[in-house]
């Protein structure tokens, strides 16, 4: 029987949420008290009130992230994978739009081999939204190579829909409506996803063992990164990611996340619960829902289905952006999608935690604007502060000097830095103590990678703050960012390319530094960690995009390459070599009949 109302959280989940929220409130209030106390010593002004309010919210945000890590430091009990005697009807869905078909279809070939090695009988369905004739012809040519490689006729299908409303979410919905009745489960992937047959087998078995489970999300590990930026993200994903995700799993309970790919859904639950409305009005706040995955998870939970994530499932992979500009381009779309959720906060019937997840996603971008406003209000408060009165009493013999606020400011800075760095240091210490660091090259190399990753992210943080602030301002002023395709596999950036895209950040940083030097010189030292990276933005963006050797940011997947990843690379290299040898694209139309089964 299909559940109808969302499930209440269990007592353990409630206690963990209370602890995390309590820690968050304590840290936020402590930071606010420091700022307010320092301001009261010289007379509380409007700028001090603004600054106190901003530090309350921004510190709370940082503390919440730290709470996730601390909650995830202790591993969950091992869970034996349920037995799977027969394969239920399952489709692996690969939505694509203007992707490199050779890379995408080579991944599918590798996954198909791994699926057969795991003794699974699954269909793989490529759902194309590509509109250009040349793009469709390239996909059809790659599909023929895929069928020849895998002998997959009858189990691997390709279709290109003529009406691509709703983008990726609409693409999946179209499949569910037309062909979903033929399947019990659907595994959703991205074009750069890779999943082993063993991972798929475990996911299907978990769904079979729990009839109330509507969606199971894995934690994809980034593979194949080449640049400083890409390899730092790859390391953070492998080293820190499982711990943060484990904390998230504990606090979300059965109202877990969906990240839109590398997950499995129960088709009947998805079909009954996840029809997405088109929001009234024009984009960016109206139109199709961009960040559909969060909404679909909330709708499943509203229907009474469990939505869970499990970072322990091995064999789930994806690729990541190789430079800051590629990341910012993708982040712009996420920003618009998350801010669009403002209109869904009061949607009827949602679980309270689903609304809280929406709120977190919204603040993930608003917090950049709030930090920028905090810096501006800090400078403004210093500039417009009243002149000190050294002789407040009429017959005073000795002057009264203004209180030195260095102690409070230092405590605040150390507290904020601690919330940012403490979780990563705790993860490092725990990994060394348990031997987990051996997979990352040993204690010394793992320590070096963590410290270098902290340094790199600290340098790039002001640059990302500027990109996110601009994205928020564009959305709130009605500028639609559209749905740009991912630039997967992009190469290194020249200094000129970086300069053209970040000169405005450089100019803003230089102007902020000069203004501070002129009007609030006492703040110069405190603002240098923010303004100097902004001034150096083109250099940092270009430098961090350059390829590096495998000794930097080593991860376990490089010490022992997973079979499905190795197979993909071999197939991709062979196909590329064959195309280069032919020197001519194949444009023959795809024959009728090799399409999604009705």
Query: What tens digit of pLDDT does each residue of 24-82 get?
Result: 999 999 999 888 887 776 667 888 899 899 999 999 999 999 999 999 998 877 677 78
pLDDT at 551: 64
20-24, 54-58, 389-393: segment of lowest average pLDDT: 389-393
Residue 537: inside a domain: no
The answer to whether 209 and 82 are in contact (CB under 8 A) is yes
Q: Is the pLDDT of residue 586 over 50?
A: no
The answer to whether 307 and 301 are in contact (CB under 8 A) is yes
Strand residue runs (E) in 147-257: 156-160, 185-188, 194-195, 213-218, 221-222
Contacts of 192 (CB under 8 A, 6+ apart): 103, 104, 107, 318, 319, 486, 488
pLDDT at 598: 35
More confident residue, 392 or 228: 228
Average pLDDT, the chain: 89
What's the structural domain count of the chain? 1
Q: Once rounded to an integer, what is the mean pLDDT over residues 152-157?
A: 92
Rounded CA-CA distance 507/528 in Å is: 15
Q: Once rounded to an integer, what is the mean pLDDT over residues 326-350?
A: 94
Confidence of residue 587 (pLDDT cuts 50, 70, 90): very low
CATH code, 300: 3.90.550.10
Residue 420: Cβ within 10 Å count: 16
Residue 596: inside a domain: no
pLDDT at 594: 40
pLDDT at 407: 63
Out of 69-78, 353-362, 545-554, 578-587, the most confident range is: 353-362
Q: Is the pLDDT of residue 584 over 80?
A: no
Q: Which domain holds residue 142?
A: 1-384+407-492+546-581
Token pair of 262, please?
């590398």
Residue 402: inside a domain: no
> Would strands 221-222 and 185-188 be described as parallel, antiparallel, or unpaired?
unpaired
Burial of 474 (0-12, 13-18, 19+ CB in 10 A): middle
Q: Is the pLDDT of residue 550 over 80?
A: no
Contacts of 412 (CB under 8 A, 6+ apart): 31, 34, 35, 55
pLDDT in tens, 173-222: 999 999 999 999 999 999 999 999 999 999 999 999 999 999 999 999 99
Q: Is the pLDDT of residue 585 over 80?
A: no
Token pair of 55, please?
């530090």
Residue 267: inside a domain: yes
312-316, 322-326, 547-551, 574-578: segment of lowest average pLDDT: 547-551
Confidence of residue 483 (pLDDT cuts 50, 70, 90): low
Q: Is the pLDDT of residue 529 over 80?
A: yes
DSSP summary character for residue 208: H
pLDDT at 398: 54
Residue 519: inside a domain: no
Residue 231: inside a domain: yes
More confident residue, 304 or 410: 304
pLDDT at 595: 43
Percent with pLDDT over 70 in the chain: 89
Residue 226: inside a domain: yes
């Amino acid at each position: 029987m299909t559940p109808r109302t969302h499930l209440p959280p269990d007592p353990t989940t409630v206690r963990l949420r209370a602890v995390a929220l309590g820690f968050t409130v304590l840290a936020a209030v402590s930071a606010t008290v420091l700022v307010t106390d320092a301001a009261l010593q010289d007379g509380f002004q409007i700028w001090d009130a603004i600054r106190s309010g901003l530090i309350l919210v921004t510190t709370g945000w940082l503390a919440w992230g730290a709470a996730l890590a601390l909650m995830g430091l202790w591993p969950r009990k091992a869970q034996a994978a349920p037995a799977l005697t027969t394969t239920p009807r399952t489709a692996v869905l690969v939505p694509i739009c203007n992707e490199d078909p050779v890379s995408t279809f080579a991944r599918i070939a590798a996954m198909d081999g791994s699926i057969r090695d795991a003794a699974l009988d699954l269909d793989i369905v490529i759902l194309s939204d590509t509109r250009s004739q040349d793009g469709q012809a390239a996909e059809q040519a790659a599909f023929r190579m895929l069928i020849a490689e895998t002998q997959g006729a009858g189990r691997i299908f390709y279709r290109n829909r003529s009406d691509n409303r709703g983008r990726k979410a609409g693409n999946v919905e179209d499949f569910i409506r037309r062909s979903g009745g033929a399947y019990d489960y659907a595994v959703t992937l991205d074009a750069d996803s890779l999943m082993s047959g063993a991972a798929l087998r475990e996911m299907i078995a978990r769904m079979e063992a729990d009839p109330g489970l509507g969606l199971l999300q894995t934690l994809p590990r980034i593979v194949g990164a080449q640049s400083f930026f890409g390899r730092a993200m790859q390391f953070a994903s492998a080293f820190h990611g499982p711990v943060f995700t484990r904390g998230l799993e504990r606090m979300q309970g059965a109202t877990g996340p969906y990240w839109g790919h590398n997950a499995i859904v129960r088709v009947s639950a998805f079909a009954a619960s996840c029809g997405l409305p088109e929001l009234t009005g024009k984009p960016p706040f109206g139109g199709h829902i961009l960040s559909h995955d969060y909404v679909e998870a909330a709708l499943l939970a509203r229907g009474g289905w469990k939505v869970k994530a499990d970072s322990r499932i091995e064999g789930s992979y994806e690729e990541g952006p190789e430079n800051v500009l590629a990341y910012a381009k993708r982040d712009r779309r996420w920003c618009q999608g998350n801010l669009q959720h403002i209109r869904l906060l009061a949607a009827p019937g949602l679980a309270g935690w689903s609304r809280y997840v929406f709120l977190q996603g919204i603040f993930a971008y608003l917090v950049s604007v709030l930090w920028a406003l905090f810096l501006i209000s800090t400078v403004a408060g210093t500039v417009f502060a009243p002149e000190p009165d050294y002789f407040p009493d009429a017959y005073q013999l000795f002057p009264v000097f203004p209180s030195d606020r260095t102690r409070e400011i230092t405590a605040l800075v150390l507290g904020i830095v601690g919330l940012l760095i403490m979780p990563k240091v705790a993860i490092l210490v725990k990994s060394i103590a348990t031997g987990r660091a051996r997979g990352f090259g040993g204690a010394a190399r793992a320590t070096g990678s963590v410290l270098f990753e902290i340094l790199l992210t600290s340098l790039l943080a002001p640059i990302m703050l500027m990109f996110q602030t601009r994205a928020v301002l564009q959305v709130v002023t009605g500028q639609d960012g559209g749905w740009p395709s991912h630039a997967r596999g992009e190469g290194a950036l020249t200094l000129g390319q970086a300069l053209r895209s970040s000169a405005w950040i450089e100019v803003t940083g230089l102007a902020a530094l000069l203004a501070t030097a002129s009007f609030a010189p006492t703040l110069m030292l405190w603002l240098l960690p923010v303004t100097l990276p902004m001034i150096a933005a083109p250099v940092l963006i270009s430098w961090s995009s350059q390829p590096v050797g495998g000794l930097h940011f080593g991860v376990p997947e490089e010490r022992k390459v997973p079979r499905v990843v190795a197979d993909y690379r071999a197939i991709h290299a062979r196909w590329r070599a064959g195309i280069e040898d032919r020197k001519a694209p194949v444009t023959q139309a795809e024959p009728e009949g090799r399409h999604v089964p009705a």
